[in-house]
Amino acid sequence: MDMIRALNAAIRYMEDNLGGELDLEQAAKIACVNPDSFQRFFSYITGMSLGEYVRARRLSLAAMDLRAGEEAIVDLAVKYGYESAAAFSRAFFRQHGIRPSDYRRRGGAIQLYPPVSFQIQVKGAKKMNFRMVEMKETQLWGISRAYDAQEKECPEMIRHRLWAEEEENIPGQLCEGAWNQPGSTAYDGLWYGVWKNGRYMIARDAEKEGLEKIILPAGAYAAFQTEKGGLAWEEFPRLFELIFDCWLPTSGYRQKGDWIVEISHLWTDHEARKKNRYYEVWVPVEKRE
């Protein structure tokens, strides 16, 4: 319940500041999570990025202002964070399908987005393979890329892009050989996906020249595990939803730090991987005061 109240307080803060300076780090602080987790959690639960939501809400309020008042369009553009009336007009048209001047003059159908709210809901008895672990300080080596969780690229798209062979093939840069290579075991074992401070890293615990090094701090982690045989693009979203929507609000814990660790148990051989693969999400936590 405390987390639900905190999340709704963060939304109220955002609503109060849509027509001015909006500090998303302050919103995350009110929600009792770090900014990266707040943006990622928001995306998982609502299906849209935090940046998209803010833009949609501002353009919804702008539409109401256009019909209710006499503020100049250029003043509304500044009020809702646009650098010019032209930029505001383009954004307004993309959402509502009508230009601000035309909507003010004759009205019409528009696309309004109401404020989001978080509530306790009965989700069904979903099984969660959960344990608390004390992790030692862990060193990993890998390749990371920055991302902006406020923009349209959701976490699933970021993860898929970094793992995709047709793009950078980051796993191939971490290992010798290739997936499904007969007789090879190069890809067998643990693979890490680390979300930290606006970056996502694919990593392993084997040092290799030219790779970035990251240190995962020692401490208490809430660890959640899937069953065997699932697909990453299905399993990780499900785990994140269970953790942040179901477990964390009622657990007596809160997230600590600015990182979340994904662990993939994988095999080089396709058939072994298909049968045995499973995934974990580890979240650093501390007791609520």
114-155 pLDDT, tens per residue? 788 776 554 444 456 788 889 999 999 999 988 765 555 566
- Give the model confidence (pLDDT) of 160-176 as tens digits: 888 886 667 899 899 88
State residue 34 phi and psi, 5-degree precision. -80, 160
**Pick the residue with more confidence: 71 or 273?**
273
The pLDDT value given to residue 123: 47
DSSP letter (8 states) at residue 43: H
**Is residue 211 over pLDDT 90?**
yes
- DSSP secondary structure of 153-200: --HHHHHHHHH-TTTT-HHHHHSSS-TT-TT--TT-EEEEEEEETTEE
User: How far is Cα 264 from Cα 193, in angstroms, rounded to an integer?
Assistant: 8
For 112, other C-beta atoms within 10 Å of its C-beta total 14
At residue 139, what are phi and psi to the nearest 5 degrees?
-100, 135
Contacts for 137 with CB less than 8 Å, ≥ 6 apart: 215, 216, 217, 218
pLDDT band at 260 (very low <50, low <70, confident <90, very high): very high
Tokens found for residue 272: 């072994």
Mean pLDDT score of the chain: 85
pLDDT beyond 80 at 82: yes
Residue with tokens 């909006």: 22
CA angle, residues 33, 36, 42, in degrees to nearest 5: 75
Instruction: Return the structure tokens found at 2.
Output: 């405390």
The number of beta carbons lying within 10 Å of the beta carbon of residue 167 is 10
- The radius of gyration computed from the CA coordinates of the chain, to the nearest angstrom, equals 22
